[in-house]
Chain A
């Protein structure tokens, strides 16, 4: 699986937007970009995924660079409940949907 690079940690204030970056310079044409997050003492949960176009859902937005070598997860208004480790994961379109987790970004949200 292609590798991703994320900052180890980021900090945000409550009710402000948060932009979580992910670099994936070796991404292939059939790799989907997925984001999961893991809240403290819980299993990971799906956030969003995309291939080429920007995506929005009720949790977040995903902005994908035109060359697909990077992407940004956007939380529009961070809440204390968004404090978690965020994982950016590439999944080959033809796979059995296996997740290979990297180290992720620990997001701290300040009140």
Chain B
């Protein structure tokens, strides 16, 4: 089945240690998104790619970066994770009127 895959599902990192979360898709969609969802809160958009064009949300911290080497893959890099960055990170794709979400990666920062 066509889908959005996120690896790993659970990630533990140490305070200040860079971490990369991965997302891949088999839907061949041109738009990919990264959301952050903290406990008991709604998902919050960090940035998105329209093909190779990167679009950062105004309030996304500089600590968060992203790469999209090709249509299928997108990465979220957190350069120096703080305790406040512990959250579920959701990847999504879309082609027109619907977003397809992956299962998320739960990040723990020790």
Interface flag for B74 (CB, 8 Å): no
**A43-B101 contact given A96-B31, A96-B50, A97-B94, CB 8 Å threshold:** yes
B17-50 near A? 1/0 per residue, CB < 8 Å: 0000000000000010100000000111100101
Cα–Cα, bound, A103→B42 (Å): 6
Expressed in whole angstroms, the minimum distance between the Cβ of B4 and any Cβ of chain A is 8
Does B97 make an interface contact (CB < 8 A)? Answer: yes
Point out the residue from B48, B55, B90 that lies within 8 Å of A44, measured CB to CB.
Answer: B90
Q: Within the complex, which residue of A43, A46, A85, A98 is in contact with B104, where a contact is CB–CB below 8 Å?
A: A43
Report how many residues on chain A are interfacial, defined by Cβ distance under 8 Å.
Answer: 20
Q: Is the interface of A mostly helix, strand, loop or mixed?
A: loop
Number of interface residues of B (CB under 8 A): 22
Inter-subunit contact A99/B31 (CB<8 Å):
no
Residues of A within 8 Å of B101, CB to CB, are 43-45
Do the beta carbons of B44 and A46 come within 8 Å of each other? no
- Which residue of chain B has the shortest Cβ distance to A97 in the bound complex? B94
13 example contacts (A-B, Cβ-Cβ < 8 A) are as follows A32-B97, A43-B92, A44-B43, A44-B90, A46-B98, A46-B99, A97-B31, A98-B33, A99-B43, A100-B45, A101-B42, A101-B43, A101-B44
Task: List 13 additional contacts besides A44-B99, A98-B33; criterion CB under 8 Å.
Answer: A38-B43, A43-B101, A43-B104, A46-B100, A49-B98, A97-B31, A97-B96, A97-B99, A99-B33, A99-B43, A99-B45, A101-B42, A102-B42
